[in-house]
Amino acid sequence: MILSDTYKHRGLRKILVDNLRRKGIKDEKVLSAINDVPRHLFLESGFINYAYKNQAFPIGSGQTISQPYTVAYQTSLLKVKPKEKILEIGTGSGYQTAVLIKMGAIVYTIERQHDLFIRTQQLLPELGFFPHFFFGDGYKGLPTYGPFDKILVTAGAPTIPKELLKQLRIGGRMVIPLGSNEGQTMFVYTRTGKDKYKEETHGKFSFVPMLKGTENKNNENT
């Protein structure tokens, strides 16, 4: 794959950002990160011409890269500040990871599909993005690396993963789509005390499911 960003791609990104603004995304720091990250380089080459449409696309292993609007919406809810330590569940293509890093965050990202983990671990540094990569089950989080300022779940969870709530620092926020395979509602949990959380709900979305355990190359569950 040729890792090039062209004048044409930059022009398409500007149009995408204008569309996201029209659809209600207001956080200029989020829009600026989306304007800067070359989304076409995160898609398989056959989909490159669609990279800047507001659509989800296959990234292999039955997974998808989230729509730009969804990425912008979740990132806005997270209220990212530079130097914050963020745990991301579902590395996938690495596009959302790159957006968080562009905003100055220090990102710890977990993926359960081994081939995606390997691919994205190679791609992101080539593009100049350096998160901490982990292969594992995001339901467990990363207890030894926490607490985190923010946690972002990019797959639809059937129930709230309790382990993740415990890994938020007091005052921290977790953004997570909760619901069934038919659709999820976006939730924001703010940890307000040792055992106290505030819950808010936002719009409806459609994510691939958050699954338990890990999956290796032969698609065997472990």
Q: Give the active site residues.
A: 66
Residue 194 forms beta bridges with which residues?
Answer: none
Q: Is 112 in the site for ligand SAH (CB under 6 A)?
A: yes
Query: Closer to ligand SAH at the Cβ: 93 or 198?
Result: 93
Backbone angles phi, psi at 124, to 5 degrees: -60, -50
Site string for ligand SAH, 35-74 (x = CB under 6 A): ----------------------------xxxx--------
Site string for ligand SAH, 149-168 (x = CB under 6 A): -----xx-------------
Q: How many residues bind ligand SAH (CB under 6 A)?
A: 23
Q: Is 93 in the site for ligand SAH (CB under 6 A)?
A: yes
Residue 91, Cα to own-chain centre: how many angstroms?
6
Q: Considering only residues 38, 131, 138, 177, which one is a binding residue for ligand SAH as defined by CB under 6 A?
A: 138
Shortest distance in whole angstroms from residue 156 CB to ligand SAH:
9
Q: Is 116 in the site for ligand SAH (CB under 6 A)?
A: yes
Q: Is 184 in the site for ligand SAH (CB under 6 A)?
A: no
Place of tokens 């467990």: 140
Shortest distance in whole angstroms from residue 15 CB to ligand SAH:
20
At position 196, the amino acid (one-letter code) is: K
Element (H, E) at 164: helix 162-166
- Which CB contacts under 8 angstroms, 24+ apart, belong to 3-12? 3/41, 3/126, 3/127, 5/38, 5/40, 5/41, 9/38, 9/40, 9/51, 9/52, 12/51, 12/52
Shortest distance in whole angstroms from residue 213 CB to ligand SAH:
8
Query: Closer to ligand SAH at the Cβ: 76 or 93?
Result: 93
- Burial of 8 by CB count in 10 Å (0-12 exposed, 13-18 middle, 19+ buried)? exposed
* Dihedral over Cα of 154, 157, 163, 166: its sign: positive
Cβ atoms of 102 and 111 closer than 8 Å: no
- Contacts (CB under 6 A) with ligand SAH, residues 188-217: 208, 210-211
Which token pair is 62?
A: 């039955």
Q: Is 75 in the site for ligand SAH (CB under 6 A)?
A: no
- Which residues contact ligand SAH by CB under 6 A? 63-66, 89-90, 92-93, 95-96, 110-113, 116, 137-139, 154-155, 208, 210-211
